């Protein structure tokens, strides 16, 4: 375990850690425990992408303003003192961008090799986000096929997996062979992002944003809104199951990825969000509440997961197996994907 030396922190470093706490519940704890070599780089990486996402998420910013902000965000990292106060007042992480100069200062203090990685991922993510905003702008459903769904998740999360892996390997905390198997870090990101999109379906819908691909929901309902009508509960649950089935396909890659990590704090940082994600999928699986309101795993379950995810790969596999078994038990022959769900759970249960 690594302790931060808060007495030695500069004002801009303190500000970055303050924004880390303000903008993230789940990531702030694990980032702050990272090995000192990667503590600030990962914190700056997180805050940079959080800033970018705060522009993407703000539906009050017109496309003509938003597009250049997203596409050019990587360049702001080089402009001393750059800040942005164009978010709507109720935007949750508005203040991070209002005081973004702190992130820029710490970005410039990083080793050049780390700067290159953060800047490259920010560039590609910002352009990917802008492409999807444009599709939505053109009136098109922005996510039609499963392929488009995977591509969106690649832009907003798979790329984070790539960037983190490059940082781990650069710092010699990860097996360089990880970089030769991009499928593995892609799955690490997509598993988290898909879980987030599944769980937040109600909140995102209330915000007029849809990420569930039409190719999946159209098998269950005629219009996306129908998922939220009480008379369609059974269809909505079957649709949710199919989305969860799609996410569970990434689990085996995630286990292989975790096996390539060589440093305990990096292992914890990567493993905790993954075990939280499978617990979240189990909570969502055939749970009608998901279409009514925001649901979250309990604090108790989250604490248990923290303990179990900070040991070793064996214990983490045990957690995955436990939740796969619970999903398996809730699976029902009424579900059109009964067999496929049974198969994917069985595979996870037998794994290791
Ligand atoms: C750089 C740690 C570990 C190899 C801000 C961590 C939003 C699911 O719906 O707030 O907005 O509320 O819950 C994180 C791979 C990305 C993917 C993505 C940067 C794992 C901007 C997390 C996180 C790769 C786009 C959750 C992707 O946010 O969502 C760092 C390895 C940010 C990871 C977004 C989502 C993260 C997310 P919402 P959340
Ligand atoms: Mn959020
Ligand atoms: Mn967001
Ligand atoms: Mn977003
Ligand atoms: Mn979300
Ligand atoms: Mn969230």
Query: Model confidence over 64-80: pLDDT tens digits?
Result: 999 999 999 999 999 99
Pocket of ligand 1 (CB under 6 A): 27, 42, 45-46, 49-50, 53, 156-157, 160-161, 164-165, 185, 188-189, 192-193, 196, 200, 270, 273
What is the ipTM score, two decimals? 0.93
Q: What does the pLDDT average to over 38-45? A: 98
Look up residue 275 and give its two tokens. Answer: 């075990």
Place of tokens 């965000």: 73
**For residue 333, what is the DSSP state?**
T
CB atoms within 10 A of CB 208: 8
Question: Catalytic one among 71, 94, 181, 209?
Answer: 209
Ligand nearest the Cα atom of residue 24: 1
Q: Which residue did the predictor score with more confidence, 2 or 276? A: 276
Q: How far is the CA of 204 from the centre of ligand 4 (A)?
A: 10
Per the annotation, the verdict on 269 as an active-site residue is yes
How much is the mean pLDDT over the chain?
96
pLDDT beyond 90 at 271: yes
Do 205 and 221 touch, CB atoms closer than 8 A? Answer: no
C-alpha span between 243 and 224 (Å, rounded):
14
The reported pLDDT for the residue numbered 309 is 93
pLDDT beyond 80 at 222: yes
| Most informative mutation of 53, 100, 203 for ligand 1 (most atoms within 8 A of CB) | 53
Per the annotation, the verdict on 209 as an active-site residue is yes
The SS3 call for residue 7 is helix
Distances (CA, A) of 187 to 108, 153, 257, 258, 296: 30, 10, 9, 11, 22
C-alpha span between 166 and 179 (Å, rounded):
7
Per the annotation, the verdict on 314 as an active-site residue is no
The reported pLDDT for the residue numbered 343 is 98
H helix runs in the chain, sequence order: 11-23, 26-32, 36-57, 63-76, 94-98, 101-108, 112-137, 146-153, 159-170, 182-199, 201-206, 214-217, 233-248, 251-258, 264-284, 299-308, 313-330, 338-350
pLDDT beyond 90 at 2: no
Atom index in ligand 1 nearest the CA of residue 168 equals 4
Q: How does residue 117 score in pLDDT terms, banded at 50, 70 and 90?
A: very high
Distances (CA, A) of 103 to 5, 11, 19, 164, 167: 19, 11, 9, 18, 18
C-alpha span between 88 and 222 (Å, rounded):
34
pLDDT digits (tens, 9 = 90+) for 126-165: 999 999 999 988 877 779 999 999 999 999 999 999 999 9
Question: Catalytic one among 45, 107, 191, 269?
Answer: 269
The SS3 call for residue 261 is strand
Look up residue 341 and give its two tokens. Answer: 């769900």
Residue 103 CB partners (closer than 8 Å, separation 6+): 16, 19, 44, 47, 48, 51, 77, 96
pLDDT beyond 80 at 352: no
Q: How does residue 26 score in pLDDT terms, banded at 50, 70 and 90?
A: confident
**For residue 188, what is the DSSP state?**
H
pLDDT beyond 80 at 187: yes
Residue 181 CB partners (closer than 8 Å, separation 6+): 256
pTM score over 0.90: yes
Q: How far is the CA of 160 from the centre of ligand 1 (A)?
A: 7
Residue with CA closest to ligand 1 atom 25: 156
CB atoms within 10 A of CB 57: 16
Ligand nearest the Cα atom of residue 92: 2
Ligand nearest the Cα atom of residue 51: 1
């Amino acid at each position: 375990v690594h302790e931060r030396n808060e007495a030695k922190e500069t004002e801009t470093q303190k500000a970055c850690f303050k924004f880390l706490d303000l903008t993230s519940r789940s990531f702030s704890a694990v980032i702050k425990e990272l090995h000192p070599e990667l503590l600030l780089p990962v914190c700056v990486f997180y805050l940079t992408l959080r800033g970018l996402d705060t522009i993407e998420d703000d539906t009050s910013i017109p496309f003509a303003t938003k597009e250049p902000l997203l596409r050019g965000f990587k360049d702001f990292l080089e402009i001393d003192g750059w800040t942005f106060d164009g978010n709507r007042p109720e935007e949750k992480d508005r203040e991070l961008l209002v005081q973004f100069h702190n992130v820029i200062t710490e970005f410039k203090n990083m080793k050049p090799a780390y700067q290159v990685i953060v800047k490259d991922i920010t560039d590609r993510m910002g352009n990917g986000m802008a492409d999807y905003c444009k599709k939505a702008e053109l009136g098109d459903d922005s996510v039609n096929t499963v392929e488009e769904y995977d591509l969106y998740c690649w832009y907003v999360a798979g790329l984070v997996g790539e960037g983190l892996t490059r940082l781990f390997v650069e710092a010699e905390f990860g097996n360089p062979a990880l970089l030769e198997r991009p499928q593995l870090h892609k799955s690490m990101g997509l598993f988290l992002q898909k879980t987030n999109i599944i769980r937040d379906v109600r909140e995102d819908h209330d915000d007029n944003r849809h990420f569930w691909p039409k190719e999946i929901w159209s098998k269950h309902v005629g219009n996306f809104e129908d998922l939220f009508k009480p008379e369609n509960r059974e269809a909505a649950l079957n649709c949710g199951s199919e989305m969860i089935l799609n996410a569970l396909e990434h689990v085996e890659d995630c286990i292989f990825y975790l096996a390539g990590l060589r440093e305990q704090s990096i292992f914890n940082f990567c493993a905790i969000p993954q075990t939280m994600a499978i617990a979240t999928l189990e909570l969502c699986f055939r749970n009608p509440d998901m279409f009514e309101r925001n649901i979250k795993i309990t604090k108790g379950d989250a604490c248990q997961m923290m303990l179990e995810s900070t040991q070793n790969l064996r214990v983490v596999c045990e957690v995955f197996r436990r939740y796969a078994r619970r999903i398996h038990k809730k699976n029902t022959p009424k579900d059109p994907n009964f067999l496929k769900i049974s198969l994917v759970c069985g595979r996870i249960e037998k794994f290791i």
